């Protein structure tokens, strides 16, 4: 019988608590412990998940085969470093790090330690995205809206790194072409950081993508629309639904056919964690690697720089 993989969770706030919940429920995983600087918070989540609570990540060193990091972004490198050095697999929530030099250091540490490094871009595991992926072929125009209500978390980073980075990652994976120009505008409305942003990307393939991200909207919207030759693919990431419409010939006339397609529903974070656990077990490549996280962060940095120039 294959021994259970020993895993820890560092940071059990809004998102990390769900890492702990899902890992604790996996039959092939032993949740060794959770870490949070807030001792009461850590104890609460540990009790719910039937594990131990710690206030320092170093307490897990030598006890785990893998960890997930869901701390504030500024703490990602410090939390992951002692584990990567020892060859322990690490999944770091997006954005991978607070700067490109820190993200590059994470990749170096993983390479030197022979450790699996995964980036937590959960939207890649959304079943609607998974269903739509094979249908997106050479898109020419992409329209993205990722809107949310004002949060009580992630206010240490701009909306580009909090929300839009999901879609920057998805675009890099689907358009598969170099970004050659960027136009961006952002507004700090309720905080001293950018709360709403609009970005227009031009790819070397000729594809244009228009993205809007907001954390000050009344409604929660997560929609991506791909327009390509003779086809339109609409992905609702929140509802986990996909619609596809194509132009076809019928009796010598052009007609539009299509509608909703089947989506096999699943909790994206659970699928992501299962993928990470499998990669650590086999030493293989996770679906979203540290390199993918670095590329998404690099594009987010370019977008942010262009936005700052326009202020």
Rounded Cα distance between 26 and 11, Å, is 19
Taken as a whole, the chain contains a residue count of: 311
Backbone φ and ψ for 112, nearest 5 degrees, come out as: -65, -35
Beta carbons of 300 and 99 less than 8 angstroms apart: no
Would you give per-residue pLDDT tens digits along the chain (311 residues)?
678 999 999 999 999 999 999 999 999 999 999 999 999 999 999 999 999 999 999 999 999 999 999 999 999 999 999 999 999 999 999 999 999 999 999 999 999 999 999 999 999 999 999 999 999 999 999 999 999 877 655 566 788 998 999 999 999 999 999 999 999 999 888 777 788 999 999 999 999 999 999 988 888 899 999 999 989 999 999 999 999 999 877 777 877 888 999 999 999 999 999 999 999 999 999 999 999 999 999 999 999 999 888 66
Instruction: Classify strands 5-10 and 29-35 as parallel, antiparallel or unpaired.
Output: parallel
| 3 state SS of 42 | helix
Domains of the chain: 5-121+268-287 (3.40.50.720), 124-266+299-309 (3.30.360.10)
- Entry pTM: 0.93
Rounded Cα distance between 245 and 247, Å, is 7
Q: How far is CA 72 from the centre of its chain?
A: 14
pLDDT value for 24:
98
pLDDT value for 151:
65
pLDDT value for 189:
85
Residue 43, by phi and psi: left (phi above 0), alpha (psi -120 to 50) or beta?
alpha
Tell me the two tokens of residue 291: 């390199």
Asked whether the bond before 29 is cis by omega within 30 degrees of 0, the reply is no
């Amino acid at each position: 019988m294959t021994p259970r993989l020993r895993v820890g969770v560092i940071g059990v706030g809004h998102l990390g608590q769900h890492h702990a919940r899902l890992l604790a429920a996996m039959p092939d995983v032993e949740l060794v412990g959770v870490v949070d600087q807030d001792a009461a918070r850590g104890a609460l989540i540990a009790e719910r998940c039937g594990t131990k609570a710690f206030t320092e990540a170093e307490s897990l060193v030598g006890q785990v085969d893998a960890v997930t990091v869901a701390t504030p972004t500024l703490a990602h490198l410090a939390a992951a470093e002692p584990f990567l050095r020892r060859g322990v697999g690490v999944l770091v929530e997006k954005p991978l790090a607070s700067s490109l030099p820190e993200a590059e250091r994470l990749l170096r540490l993983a390479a030197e330690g022979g450790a699996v490094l995964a980036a937590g871009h959960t939207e890649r595991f959304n079943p609607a995205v998974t269903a739509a992926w094979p249908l997106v072929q050479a898109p020419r125009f992409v329209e993205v809206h990722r809107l949310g209500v004002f949060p009580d978390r992630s206010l240490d980073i701009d909306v580009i790194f909090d929300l839009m980075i999901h879609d920057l990652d998805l675009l890099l994976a689907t358009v598969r072409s170099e970004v050659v120009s960027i136009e961006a505008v952002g507004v700090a409305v309720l905080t001293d950081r950018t709360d709403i942003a609009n970005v227009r990307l031009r790819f070397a393939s000729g594809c244009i993508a228009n993205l809007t991200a907001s954390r000050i909207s009344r409604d929660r919207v997560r929609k991506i629309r791909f327009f390509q030759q003779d086809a339109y693919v609409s992905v609702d990431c929140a509802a986990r639904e996909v619609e596809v419409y194509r132009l076809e010939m019928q009796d010598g006339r052009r007609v539009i056919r299509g509608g909703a397609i089947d989506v096999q529903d699943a909790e994206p974070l659970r699928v992501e964690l299962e993928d990470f656990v499998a990669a650590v077990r086999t030493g293989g490549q996770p679906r979203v690697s540290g390199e993918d996280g670095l590329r998404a962060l690099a594009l987010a940095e370019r977008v942010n720089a262009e936005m700052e120039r326009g202020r």
